[in-house]
Amino acid sequence: MATAVAHPDTPAQSAPQLPGRRYDHIFFSGMSLLLLATVFVGFARTYYLAGVFHAQLPSLIIHLHRAAFSCWVLLLLAQTSPGFCWAG
């Protein structure tokens, strides 16, 4: 098995840029904001604004499930926002 070793004086070549790559952050951030708005509107009467609409509060397991899902949507929004980066 042969292994190619780059010479230390040779500069590393960068990967070619894909077309439309610069719009990825805008697209995914916009989609996650749309998802967040859809979730809020869909659950506003029965969960987020339950006190305003005098809705019956759910059982503990349903409340925990909705809270976990809400945190998941917020995490998705944080991951797709332009300021968030896993690797420095």
Contact 55, 46 (CB under 8 A): yes
For residue 65, which of 32, 35, 43, 88 has the smallest C-alpha distance?
43
10, two tokens: 């040779």
* Res 72: pLDDT: 93
- The 10s digit of each residue's pLDDT in 7-17 is 666 666 666 66
Gap between the Cα atoms of 43 and 9, Å rounded: 59
User: Burial, 22: exposed, middle or buried (Cβ in 10 Å; 0-12, 13-18, 19+)?
Assistant: exposed
Domain-wise residue ranges, the chain: 22-80
* Res 14: pLDDT: 63
Pick the more confident residue, 12 or 24. Answer: 24
Residue 2 has pLDDT above 70, yes or no: no
